[in-house]
Chain A
Amino acid sequence: MVEYIFYALSVICIACALLVVFSKNPIHSVLYLILAFFAIAGHYVLLNAQFLAVVHIIVYAGAIMVLFLFVIMLLNLNAETEPHKNMLTKIMATVSGGLLLVTLVGSFRAAGQVEMVNLDNSNIGTIENLGKVLFNDFLLPFEISSVLFLSAMIGAVILGKKQLS
């Protein structure tokens, strides 16, 4: 049963990811990306990582995609005024995309066969256990992340203010 759900979710996820790339309308792309995120959240639920699943929805589908939509709406999205990309840009995009693919495939081949890990505790993904690990073992990265947030805030404000003046 779980296996069938896994395959169904995977098919949805990959199909949506492809549609993100192939759809002409950027708003449709965003919507397909949201669907892909939901499929990934479904995978997390199957793995019993419920907190991660719901955070995935809140942060990616609920916050970052809203930002994407704002950006798309902020750009002047007239069909007539859409700039035509020249040939050089298209070739460069294909080459850099291809290089990324080669790197990914290469790293997967180098990693070799992944061993199945049997967890002795199936509740490892719950929010209680996650919190304990995060606030005891990974304390320093957690505190450093707050500095990262601070720099991101300052960057956002500086970029935004420059546009205003």
Chain B
Amino acid sequence: MGIELLIFKSILVLVVFTITLTIAAYSTYGERKIAAFLQDRIGPNRAGPFGIFQPVADGGKMFLKEEIIPADASAFLFVLGPSLAMLTALMTGVVIPWGDTLTLNGVEYSLQITDLNIGVLYIFGVVSFGVYGIMIGGWSSNNKFSLLGAIRASAQMISYELAMGLSIVALIMTTGTLSIKEIVDQQATWHWNILYQPLGFLIFMICAFAECNRAPFDLAECETELVGGYHTEYSSMKLGFYLFAEYINMFISSALMASLYFGGYNFPFMNSLGLDQNMVTILGTVVFFGKVFFFIFFFMWIRWTIPRFRYDQLMRLGWQSLIPLAILNILLTGIFTMREELKNWLFN
């Protein structure tokens, strides 16, 4: 890796990091505004015009609040929990292709931080690691409700990981690659995977909701049973990290859904507009973020519309509906792709 490329990658890492934090911060504002709209209220409106400085005020407050570590808690693990949650949330953005290539001074730069040929599995690995932040935080608090919340959340996350993995297998069967960049490139113009994998997308989306611990799957912080769930004992920035990590995960899942199933930075007629490559790339990135924002809005819309599941319903949905459905989806995809061979084999 040349020094120039290394500098470019470092800049890209910093830019993606800043954008992730900004979008996550403004998602909290968006969430409150959308909740207010759906419930016919006004929402935050004091900090700046229309309350747009609300996330800044909230962030400042998190920094300036007193940090409390309960005397009975294990101090090191108590701090480690939210740090791990935040760290894992920030690590997934590396393999998302934010745009096509830009040509500057005759050198091509890709707007993806790194193109791993096992990109999809990398995401899967980081997601499976996300359980630890919640488990360690809930256990170290030495609070029965935190412990129950943490165990519930981790059992939920591992259960839905299986269906998520199976739904992606069907997608990989049609694409034949695990590199997210290649998957996006195969969907050029309007050949989006959602057209070939509608059932797979539905399963993936439900699992993404469950992995992010978002309503209707937010049983880990079910106030009526568990006080505040796994972060009951937390305060100041440590609480902030848990809440913030949830919004970052939501952003990354939206980006993943847009790249895997909705064409990523591709849009119809992108090659017939007569624009040069750099313009198309920039337009593509704008379109990509448009898709991402739509999914973030969808996450919020669902949260303020559908009530929470009961725990047995949640586990039944994960194990007894989504896993068989995902396997059925694999079989259907296989039969559909192999239809010619099957016909030859059956009738000859």
Contact = CB atoms under 8 A, between A and B. Distances in A.
> In the complex they form, do A and B come into direct contact, defined as C-beta atoms under 8 angstroms apart?
yes
Interface string A77-95: 0000000000000000000
Q: Which of A31, A62, A70 counts the most chain B CB atoms within 10 A?
A: A62
A55 B118 CA distance: 10
Interface in B197-235: none
A35 to B, nearest CB: 12
A73 interface: yes
B136 A27 contact: yes
B118 A62 contact: no
Contacts, number: 54
Interface residues of B, number: 23
A57 to B, nearest CB: 4
Interface residues of A, number: 19
B158 A66 contact: yes
Interface in A101-128: 126-127
B117 interface: yes
B128 A50 contact: no
A152 interface: no
Interface string A44-78: 00000011001101100111001001100100000
A56 B119 CA distance: 15
B314 interface: no
B131 A66 contact: yes
A126 B139 CA distance: 38
B330 to A, nearest CB: 15
A133 B140 CA distance: 45
Contacts of B121: 51, 54-55, 58
A41 to B, nearest CB: 9
Contact of A69 (B117, B118, B124, B135): B135
Nearest to A50: B118
A12 to B, nearest CB: 17
Contacts of B12: none
Main secondary structure of the interface of A (DSSP, over half): helix
Nearest to A126: B117
Given A27-B136, A27-B139, A58-B124, A66 B154 contact: yes
B129 A63 contact: no
Contacts of A61: 125, 128-129
A123 B41 CA distance: 59
B129 A127 contact: no
Contacts of A69: 132, 135, 139
A63 B128 contact: yes
A73 B117 contact: no
Contacts of A62: 125, 128-129, 131
B43 to A, nearest CB: 38
B122 interface: yes
B116 interface: yes
Interface string A22-33: 000101000100
B82 to A, nearest CB: 15
A145 B154 CA distance: 27
Interface of B: 74, 77, 80, 116-118, 121-122, 124-125, 128-129, 131-132, 135-136, 139-140, 147, 151, 154, 158, 178
Interface of A: 25, 27, 31, 34, 50-51, 54-55, 57-58, 61-63, 66, 69-70, 73, 126-127
